[in-house]
Copies of this chain bind each other. A is one copy, B any other.
Amino acid sequence: MLKVVVIGSGNVTQHLISVFKESETVQLVQVYARNPENLYHIIDKEKITDSFENITDADIYIISVTDDAIAQVSSSLPFTNRLVVHTSGSVALEQLNNKNRRGVFYPLQTFSKNKSVNFNTVPLCLESEFEKDYSILEQLANSISHSVYNISSQQRKALHVAAVFVSNFVNHMYVQGKNVCEEHNIPFDILKPLILETADKVQQMDPIAAQTGPAVRNDRQTIEKHIDFINNDIQKEIYKLITQSIQDVKKL
């Protein structure tokens, strides 16, 4: 059994706690939280501490706090030479205090409070300062997901940018679509099957091959009609810029 301590109380922490509780390879020995009451609904009170001095022995310490707090929390740990990892997509391994053996355990998924996630399919991006620690991280990762990747800090930076495009920016396109619907008394529900199918398509097809619509067809008439139709300035700008970008890709 791998003994794990989790540090944090946010969305990612709560998803990790849930999945570790169910794992047969992992023993979740303790959780550190500044505000233990945030976690009372998913873990026994006795397993939570709010004092760094009381943190117990474990094989891995997972710091799952906001990006800005990672360096500080890693410095506050009252021990040395243990395996300490963070879960962030955008923080370098070197941000962890070097008194411990450092690593990264980054689950590449979007986590929301009231929506459960099947961890089995969540890609886990691993990195370790020392080679021997990598196999410990790998053992932990394999116990909760069948999608495990060795990703360097530089690659993780790229991956985070890519994730912003395919998740945050995509979600904003949904917001824009919903805005257009609302302006014309159309229920957003009507777009939901299209949203799912668009995501489903690229599970099998290359997104370049999956591209459809007036931009890739260079259907100038429809593009002009759409630009005229949109009466929100930034929405119009987005329409023009992405249409341009789709046509640039096509030309390559």
Q: Hey, which bits of chain A sit against chain B, CB under 8 A?
A: 67, 90, 108-110, 112, 115, 117, 121-123, 125, 147, 149, 151, 154-155, 157-178, 180-181, 183-187, 190-208, 210-216, 219, 222, 225-226, 229-230, 234-235, 237-239, 241-242, 244-246, 248-249
Are B199 and A196 in contact, with the CB atoms below 8 A? yes
Chain B residues with Cβ below 8 Å from A173 are 165-166, 169-170, 173
Name A202's contact: one of B174, B180, B222 (CB within 8 Å).
B174
With A and B bound together, what is the CA distance between A248 and B176 in angstroms?
12
Q: For residue A36, give the distance in angstroms from its CB to the closest CB of chain B.
A: 24
Least CB separation from A223: chain B residue: B164
Q: List 26 A-B contacts (CB under 8 A).
A: A110-B197, A110-B198, A110-B212, A112-B201, A121-B193, A123-B190, A125-B190, A147-B193, A155-B184, A159-B191, A160-B226, A161-B180, A164-B214, A166-B191, A166-B195, A167-B212, A167-B213, A168-B211, A170-B174, A170-B198, A171-B210, A171-B212, A174-B207, A195-B199, A234-B245, A238-B245
Q: How many copies of this chain?
A: 2
Please, which residue of chain B has its CB at the minimum distance from the CB of A190?
A: B123
Which residues of chain B are near A122, meaning CB under 8 Å? 193
What are the residues of chain B within 8 A of A230 when measuring CB–CB?
A: 161
Which of B157, B171, B200, B237 is close to A241, meaning CB atoms less than 8 Å apart?
B237
Does B241 lie within 8 Å of A241, measured CB to CB? yes
The CA-CA distance from A163 to B211 in the complex, in Å, is 13
A241 to B249, CA, bound (A): 19
Whether B207 pairs with A171 at a CB distance below 8 angstroms is yes
- In the assembled complex, how far is the CB of residue A232 from the closest CB belonging to chain B, in whole angstroms? 10
Task: Using A162-B178, A196-B199, A238-B241 as known contacts, list a sample of 8 further A-B pairs with CB atoms less than 8 Å apart, ordered by residue number in A.
Answer: A110-B198, A159-B191, A167-B197, A167-B213, A168-B211, A168-B212, A173-B173, A235-B245
